[in-house]
Amino acid sequence: MAGKDSTALNNEQLKTALETIAQLAIAIDNLYARLGDDDNGALRDTVRPLVSQMGLIADRCSGFSICGFDSWMLPPSFKHDALIEGEHHG
């Protein structure tokens, strides 16, 4: 008779793991958002989409939005541009 799989997660453990993945993705994304267009620009442009996918998957699987689709998949300028547009029309 096989014992209980010690690697199986209950719902709360899975939720915590996915939240942690999303929070780590946010931290990495914030770090790379601070990099300029110097020698790290190519690295930033390579890593950001990967981090965004990680965060979006974690958001989707956790059942609630930590950052939201726009924040994960669109460049930081998207939110900034929307704020500026709102100020001009507000």
Q: pLDDT digit string (tens) for 4-47?
A: 656 677 888 888 888 888 888 888 878 777 766 566 677 777 78
CA nearest 20: which of 48, 49, 61? 61
**Residues counted in the chain:** 90
Q: Which stretch of DSSP H or E encloses residue 28?
A: helix 11-33
pLDDT (0 to 100) of residue 75? 75
pLDDT higher than threshold 50 for residue 1: no
